[in-house]
Amino acid sequence: MDVVHLAGAEDVSRAAGRMADAAQTMSGAAYNIDCTLERHQRFMDDWLQRLQDVMDSDMRHRLSELLSEGKISPNDARKVIGLAPLYDWTEAAKEGGTAQ
């Protein structure tokens, strides 16, 4: 059996190996970026939920003060509480906008 040696075949083979290594490195980098973005999303979701909780608590506290001082009627307080879903910062952030 005759063996045929092509000029440059070894260079092509080495280049293919290097390209495969580069592809593996890029795949690892993409995975790391994906994991980082996922952790960041969880952090932001948690942070926004805590902000929402603080704002809700503050609103209830302020309404309670206004009611006790007679500066707002119970009916008006119920109206304000009914508007609370409009100020859902968590949902607004998930949609990429601002609260309305």
pLDDT above 90: residue 29: yes
pLDDT of residue 23: 97
pLDDT above 80: residue 86: no
Cβ 43 vs Cβ 54: under 8 Å: no
Greater model confidence, 61 or 84: 61
Per residue in 37-67, pLDDT (tens digit) is 999 999 999 999 898 888 888 888 888 888 8
CA of 80: how far to CAs of 54, 60, 67, 89, 96, in Å? 16, 10, 12, 16, 25
pLDDT of residue 30: 97
Model confidence at 99, pLDDT cuts 50, 70, 90, reads very low
DSSP state of 97: S
